[in-house]
Homo-oligomer: A and B are copies of this chain.
Amino acid sequence: LKKLKGNWIIEPYKWTMLGYRMKHKLYEKKSKFQKIEVYETLKNGNIMLLDGCFMLTEKEEFVYHEMIAHVPLFSHPKPERVLVIGGGDGGTVREVLKHKVVKQVDFVEIDEEVIKASKKYFRGLTSWMRDKNEKRVNVISTDGCKFIKKKKNYYDVVLIDSTDPVDIGMVLFTKEFYENVRRALRKNGIVVAQTEEPFFSGHMIKFIQKRIRHAFGRKNTHLYLAAIPTYPSGTWSFTFASRGITPLTIRNMNS
């Protein structure tokens, strides 16, 4: 390593590494589930880490949150009931709420401490929590994997804004879970999950796709990518699966 000016926060990822210049640590807590850290970076706003992995920076988070939410919500003809699993930072729910057609959002995050930290340090992502006129969201602090088992034929869109498929995140990548997601969707239902990056973890994408295809069928399962500088390789993948609707047919935003 060269000598570097200033302080840096880095994420080693396999045989690669990403880093940001930082000003100082704002927060650190070991919750029941994971280690939560927040730093102020020099130019990218605050950054959150869970178990040492970069989750989001204030400057760049819009790409991930817009891409996980709007692709399925604009693909569905009438997305009224939405379930968000994970995404305790609040950004995915913020994007979902931009769709006026949405009547109910169940926001299931296992770790309340992530929500608390986000309320304080990521105010742009959690502004909807402070909006007294926003009554569409139920914040539910429980295990999304157990929660979804009880729901049948209920949601129009399910968004799986999980951490990586290790430790607590792993249950959100099992065959059983995807089967339960499919059962929780009603007619025309769509699920989108974050599914890792293609350059260093292509095998993971294949592995996850295989499981999702098993539940939804090959012709109902699609992959799409987004450019996200916060994550390893700078390219991230999402898997779109549905009970029949394809994202390749675009609905007019004004319809």
Q: A227-B225, A235-B227 are in contact. Are A18 and B16 (CB under 8 A)?
A: yes
Within 8 A of B (CB), among A197-212: 199-200
Q: How far is A115 from B10 in the complex, measured between Cα atoms in Å?
A: 34
Min CB distance, A245 to chain B, in Å?
27
A233 at interface by CB-CB < 8 Å: yes
Residues of B within 8 A of A1 (CB): 1, 4, 8, 10
Within 8 A of B (CB), among A42-79: 42-44, 52, 60
Min CB distance, A217 to chain B, in Å?
28
Residues of B within 8 A of A5 (CB): 12
Closest to A11 in B: B2
A20 at interface by CB-CB < 8 Å: yes
Residues of B within 8 A of A21 (CB): 15-16
Q: How far is A52 from B229 in the complex, measured between Cα atoms in Å?
A: 20
The oligomer's copy count stands at: 2
Min CB distance, A2 to chain B, in Å?
6
Min CB distance, A71 to chain B, in Å?
18
Min CB distance, A78 to chain B, in Å?
33
Q: A1-B4, A8-B1, A10-B2 are in contact. Are A19 and B20 (CB under 8 A)?
A: no
A234 at interface by CB-CB < 8 Å: yes
Residues of B within 8 A of A16 (CB): 18-21, 44, 229
Within 8 A of B (CB), among A17-52: 17-21, 41-44, 52
Q: How far is A12 from B43 in the complex, measured between Cα atoms in Å?
A: 14
Closest to A52 in B: B2
Q: Is the CB of A233 within 8 A of B225?
A: no
Min CB distance, A189 to chain B, in Å?
30
A130 at interface by CB-CB < 8 Å: no
Min CB distance, A194 to chain B, in Å?
16
Interface-centre pick from A10, A16, A41, A42 (highest chain B CB count, 10 A): A16
Instruction: Name A's B-contacting residues (CB within 8 A).
Output: 1-2, 4-5, 8, 10, 12, 14-21, 41-44, 52, 60, 199-200, 225, 227-229, 232-235
